[in-house]
Amino acid sequence: MKIAVVGTGYVGLVTGTCLSESGHHVTCVDVDEKKIATLREGGIPIYEPGLEELVRRNARERRLAFTTSLAAAMRDTEVVFIAVGTPPGETGEADLTHVLTAAEQVGRAIERYTVVVNKSTVPVGSCERVREVVARSARAEFDVVSNPEFLKEGSAVDDFMRPDRVVVGVASERARQVMADLYQPFVRTEQPILFMDPRSAELTKYAANAMLATRISFMNDVAALCERLGCDVDQVRRGMGSDRRIGYPFLFPGVGFGGSCFPKDVRAVMTMARQLGLDFDLLRAVERVNERQKRLLFDKAVKHFGALAGKRCALWGLAFKPKTDDMREAPALTLAQLLAGAGAEVVAHDPVAAEVARPLLGPHVRLAGEPYAAAEGADALFLVTEWNEFRAPDYERLGQIMRGKVLFDGRNVWDAARARAAGFTYFGVGRPAA
């Protein structure tokens, strides 16, 4: 098929590249000339493992192209994906400005029957709004379908190529067949394509993310209870996860969730519910717990040290999760600001996200080029993001270079017994005190 993808952000670039990898001819469109120039030169504007290699290979083999002209991209196109940003508005609901602008441009460019795919995360009912906008200027038949993305940053290529499921909201048999043909190469190992009505597809995306966020906040509350009762949350988690009705994913306590999806989508669901006269009390609690959790390590540090003025605090990890440079609503930002605000000297290291984080952290946070340089002379070391290279620290080396010997493990990945045996005071999340 010949496909156009409007938007070369995280979702659009991964979608277009992976579709070209399966043999389709894809043209990605963006209004950002600098970004398009970077992509044409073989670079990518985001960090995602494996993506840059795929972009270069498919561009070299002429299955993947980049342009700023939507009209050129849509010549003889059979399918066009709208994958532009939907930032939260003042009320918390996703802002459809970019989606509807793209829809208007798509409508003017349609030359033949085209399936317009809403890939952006949008409020329920957005398919109808996009259809109305496209219909104002379309000169050929078209259908609008909902095809929400379920990509995890850090494993997005694998998620697209080997999905758990593909959700498609359709209103016509013709569009259903086009989407079935499009995704057929990705579901050969029996992962299902779930066809449903467009509104249900739109809500599925929000409901899935809200459920995962709920599991995280629930375990963070369990961890807080464990600390007060002298229990070990790791053992509780294993006992819970072994129940097949519950399972293990997203039961890890920590310093809260961030990123582009969970915080925004939780707020969007609450906003949709409120507009319909429904109080989604559960999600209000999820959000409240998450905000509390982002300051957890700071509160532990204040309780341990008292005053933090003059203390040097090292942070390992800045991105909201490993294998990405995404700093959106990252817990490390909250922690760094709290520590600096309390008068502490903050030195941080992240293997990928440093440049993205630099303008967000402000002048009171210094960045180090490698983890032990950040820890040198520190009174305390905070693990915020569980990058693989942070999982097995050299305790002997840390003991030699740190001024104090206090560890705050915000992801429960360090061996508490080993840390304490090496002479460190160790604090985890929901783990019993020594």
Which residues are tagged catalytic? 261
* Cα-based angle 119, 120, 126 (whole degrees, multiple of 5): 95
Does residue 8 have a known ligand-binding role?
no
Does residue 151 have a known ligand-binding role?
yes
What's the chain's Rg over C-alpha atoms?
Answer: 24
* Three-state SS at 16: helix
Taken as a whole, the chain contains a residue count of 434
* Cα-based angle 74, 45, 336 (whole degrees, multiple of 5): 140
φ/ψ bin of 377: left (φ > 0), alpha (ψ from -120 to 50), beta (otherwise): left
Instruction: Say which residues have a Cβ less than 8 Å from residue 200's Cβ, sequence separation at least 6.
Output: 169
What is the residue type of 66? F
Does residue 321 have a known ligand-binding role?
yes
Yes or no: say if 365 and 326 are a contact pair by the CB < 8 Å rule: no
Q: How far is 102 from 118, CA to CA, in rounded Å?
A: 10
What is the residue type of 389? E
Does residue 320 have a known ligand-binding role?
no
Does residue 424 have a known ligand-binding role?
no
Q: How far is 149 from 163, CA to CA, in rounded Å?
A: 10
Strand partners, 88: 94
Backbone angles phi, psi at 71, to 5 degrees: -60, -40
Give all strands of the β-sheet with 193-196 in edge-to-edge order. Answer: 64-67, 25-29, 2-6, 79-82, 114-118, 142-146, 166-169, 193-196
Does residue 251 have a known ligand-binding role?
yes
DSSP secondary structure letter of residue 186:
G
Does residue 67 have a known ligand-binding role?
no
Does residue 298 have a known ligand-binding role?
no
Does residue 205 have a known ligand-binding role?
yes
Does residue 328 have a known ligand-binding role?
yes
Q: Is the dihedral of CA 353, 359, 364, 366 positive or negative?
A: positive
Does residue 30 have a known ligand-binding role?
yes
CA distances from 222 to 207, 233, 330 (A): 22, 7, 22
Alpha-carbon torsion angle 366, 367, 373, 378, nearest 10 = 40
Does residue 153 have a known ligand-binding role?
yes
Q: How far is 205 from 83, CA to CA, in rounded Å?
A: 14
Number of Cβ atoms within 10 Å of the Cβ of 377: 14
Q: How far is 267 from 276, CA to CA, in rounded Å?
A: 14
**Residue set of the binding site for substrate:** 150-153, 205, 250-254, 258, 321
Annotation: binding site for NAD(+): 30, 35, 86, 121, 153, 264, 328
